[in-house]
Structure 1
Amino acid sequence: MTSRLPLYLALTCSLLAGNACASDAPAALAPLLESIGQRLTLAEQVALSKWDSHKAVEDRPREQQVIAGAKAQAVSHHLSEETVGQFFAAQIEANKLVQYARLSSWNLEGRAADTPRQDLATQIRPQLDRLQKNLLQQLAAFSPYRSDPQCPQWLARAHQAESHDPLRQLAMIRATAELCVFKG
């Protein structure tokens, strides 16, 4: 699936013109947001799996495993364990947001989406693990820009471009909540 985010960012910037475009988002942001979006797309499959298996969305041991695995790789990406832990906790929370919303919707309708299912353990989790590597690399590439005063505006513009699906927009906002840091 090809992401339209880079196109949206460019289009949004060209529409805003003037001072807003004087501070274009760094090139490192688009691939990071695309990978975050891919992870959120997988949340749909996780929700389907949990619907079929009647498992709870909350899986603390798995969440702790994911965060610990990411933190163990932090140093090799020149990132702090704290940064990586916060970032992946945000990814997990955004993923759960999508799952809870989809499950609620399906409960209301009395059935889940009629789409092909992937196995959580053998198909979905390996994809999430591969994405984790990409996300670490992309977070490291974006890291020099995290304290830029324009960082919140870059994210706001990117989220605005994603507004075609309110749930996805909200999940992206949650997933990126830890990206910008302020030095005081």
Structure 2
Amino acid sequence: MPNLRNFIVCAILSAYAITAQANEPPTVIPSLLITLNERLNIGDLVALTKWDSGKPIQDSPREAQVIDNARKLATERKLDPEDVAQLIAAQMEANKLVQYGLLAQWQAAGAAPDTPRPDLGKQIRPRLDELQARLLQQYADFTPYRQDPNCPMWLAKARTGLTRDALHDLALTRATGELCIRPLAP
């Protein structure tokens, strides 16, 4: 009997260890969320340029250009172009959320922060392009986990404490809102 009991205990412990390991988030998640958060923080700089120029936040031709470019990069990286278009569109929506929130704060205060303004075309957009390339690689690494039942929990835990305020937290939630997909019911 002691051997059977030992066998059962070992089987239970092994099953527990496998389950615990299966619930561990993929190692790509922290770096993916850091990249998304970095992209959102650039929204602060974009908002400053929009404040100074008086240009609208919504720039549909530029957004279409970015999404078309993302589709091409997706094809080169053997990713689904429509999934990548949706990912990039979500990032732009999250970024605009930051911009609208900041502009509203600055309008209420009567002024924007007195900080250096980088050039949108020469400094900010090249940085966004670099982040997009990194984001697509991390997304490719993350793609196998999108349908995992633990995906939403992994992202929620990884978002915790990553942002500096409620506006950026909400925007990061928007940026990650479509990363996980529910498996289709049989």
Normalising by the residue count of structure 1, what TM-score does the alignment of the two structures yield? Answer: 0.86
For residue 125 of structure 1, what is the amino acid of its counterpart? R
Per-residue deviation, 1:95: 0.2
**Based on CA coordinates, which of the two structures has the bigger radius of gyration?**
2
Number of the residue aligned with 2:41 = 41
Q: Is the 8 A contact 1:87 1:178 kept in 2?
A: yes
Per-residue deviation, 1:163: 5.9
Number of the residue aligned with 1:7 = none
For residue 40 of structure 2, what is the amino acid of its counterpart? L
Map 1:10-159 onto structure 2 (within 5 A). Answer: 23-159=23-159
Per-residue deviation, 1:82: 1.0
Per-residue deviation, 1:183: 1.3
In 2, Cα distance between equivalents of 1:147 and 1:22 = 14
Q: Is the 8 A contact 1:162 1:168 kept in 2?
A: no
Which digits, 9 at most, give the CA deviation of each residue in 1:44-67, with x for residues without a partner?
A: 000000000000000000000111
> What is the percent sequence identity of the aligned residues?
51
In 1, Cα distance between equivalents of 2:107 and 2:20 = 43
For residue 94 of structure 2, what is the amino acid of its counterpart? A
Per-residue deviation, 1:97: 0.2
In 1, Cα distance between equivalents of 2:46 and 2:64 = 17
Secondary structure (helix, strand or coil) at the match of 2:135 reads helix
- Inter-CA distance 122–87: structure 2 relative to 1 (3 Å threshold): same
Unaligned runs of 5+ in 2: 1-18
Q: Is the 8 A contact 1:147 1:181 kept in 2?
A: yes
For residue 73 of structure 1, what is the amino acid of its counterpart? L
In 2, Cα distance between equivalents of 1:46 and 1:20 = 42
For residue 49 of structure 2, what is the amino acid of its counterpart? S
Which digits, 9 at most, give the CA deviation of each residue in 1:95-131, with x for residues without a partner?
A: 0000000000000000001111101111100100111
Q: Which moved more, 1:20-29 or 1:153-162?
A: 20-29
Normalising by the residue count of structure 2, what TM-score does the alignment of the two structures yield? Answer: 0.85
Q: Which segments of structure 1 move beyond 6 Å, counting only runs of 4 or more?
A: 19-22
Unaligned runs of 5+ in 1: 1-18
Q: Is the 8 A contact 1:98 1:171 kept in 2?
A: yes
RMSD: 1.5
Q: Is the 8 A contact 1:147 1:182 kept in 2?
A: yes
In 2, Cα distance between equivalents of 1:164 and 1:50 = 22
